[in-house]
Each structure stands twice: as structure tokens, then as C-alpha cells.
Amino acid sequence: MLRLENVHSYYGGIEALHGVSLYVNSGEIVAMIGANGAGKSTTLMTICGEPRARSGRILFDGVDITLEPTFQIIRNGLSHAPEGRRIFSRMTVLENLQMGAVTSDPSHFQDDLNSVLNLFPILDERQQQRGGTLSGGEQQMLAIARALMSSPKLLILDEPSLGLAPKLVQQIRDIICNINEQGTSVLLVEQNATMALSIADRGYVIENGRIVREGTSRDLLA
């Protein structure tokens, strides 16, 4: 479903990704783990076109998306819940979810909203509350829910467990499994390697902008 071939990415003159290659098969959960500054978020952002890969190729669902604009990449069926949640804090929960659907066919909105609120009952109760007044865990759920509003084939999650209490990490973990069981492939970036590998089929370890190890989650955990 997704394939990165020898992707190099830069911030100005500084090379952040030195030839990253990875793939996600349809139906899989794939984890990418690594320390602070290893290049995890840069990999995810490069997939979405910002920063743009300067060399190498990114293929999604058989289409070369390396040079496509971000809105088109999202329309193709890829969605990204960024690190730090980055919800619209002055908008209500419902408005945040509407923003997640801007690239979708408006006639699907109500069905998509119902299925997302079904997955996150707490957001259903708080539709009119401003995003910035939600708890950290609720904001994380809103970030994932917003990403799901475009009905992606592949959901990209950047450190969804960051800063959450163990009980909430468990809840987020169950939600990711649930989303995957409903047919969405997942690329999951985490520093919480144990959590990520406990639900992933396969994983990659990234260090200084290079993939240094890959394998099944069982092998990587061992």
C-alpha cells in the first residue's frame, strides 16, 4: 500500500533523511521506533509532502505521490495525526471533525461522523466543547478522530501515546487495534517501543535519519 524507496529529505541545506526505505502492506500495522531527533516525524511529514523528498520515490496504492501536493495525497486515501495533537484549540470538537473532512465528498459527512463518534463516545458527548479545553487524552482522541474523517486507507499516527497516563495509553492502543480491524492500515511512530511493537505486525528502527533495523515485532521486541 505504501512504499518509500531510498527517500532523502532536507530542512534547507541539512539532510534529515539519508535514504529511507520502508513499506506497509494493506491491512498491516507497522511501527517505526527511534530516539528523539532520529527522523520519525520527518519521515511521516515527507510522506505527506512537506518537506518534499528531494530524491527517492514514494508510492501509495500504486500511485507515485512523491511530487503530489498534500491535499491530493490526502484525497488518495492517506491521513496523518501529527505529533503534539495539533488540534484547532479554539474550534469545537465538531468543527475540528468538520476540518478533517474538507477533502471528502460532503455527501459522506454524516456517515463518517457517525462512525467516528461511535469509535470515540467521549467526543460524541463533547461535540460543542472547544478543543483546547479537552484533557490531553481527549485531545489525542480528537486528533485521531479528525484524521479518520477522511476515511483513509492508511492512517499515520505520530506518537499517539506521548504524555498520556498508562491507562490512557492502553485505551489508545485498543482504539488503534479497533481501527485496524475495521480495515484501515496503520503506520505508527512511537518512542514507546513496547506499546508500538505489542500491536504492530512489523517494525523499523530509525537512527540519525537511517533505518538501522527492521523485522517482525516479535524479533524486534526480543
**Site of interaction with ligand ATP (CB under 6 A):** 11, 14, 16, 34, 36-42, 83, 191
Closest to 17 (Cα-Cα) out of 29, 44, 177: 44
> Quick one: 37 or 132, whose CB is closer to ligand ATP?
37
State the Cα–Cα distance between residues 109 and 102, nearest whole angstrom.
10
Closer residue to ligand ATP in complex, CB, 41/151:
41
CB of residue 19 to ligand ATP, shortest distance in Å: 15
Report, in Å, the least distance between residue 160 CB and ligand ATP: 13
CB nearer ligand ATP, residue 52 or residue 130:
52
Q: Residue 81 half-sphere exposure, CB side, CA atoms within 13 Å?
A: 31
Give SS3 for 27: coil
For the CB of residue 59, give the shortest distance to ligand ATP in the complex, in Å.
Answer: 21
Q: Which is nearer to ligand ATP, 12 or 106 (CB)?
A: 12
Q: Smallest gap, in angstroms, from Cβ of residue 86 to ligand ATP?
A: 13
Cα(52)–Cα(54) distance, integer angstroms: 6
Closer of 41 and 104 to ligand ATP (Cβ): 41
- Return d(Cα 193, Cα 152) in angstroms, integer: 24
135 C-beta neighbours (distance < 10 Å), count: 11
Residue 167 contacts by C-beta under 8 Å, 6 or more apart in sequence? none
CB of 202 to ligand ATP, least distance (A): 18
Report the alpha-carbon distance of residue 29 to residue 174 in Å, rounded: 13
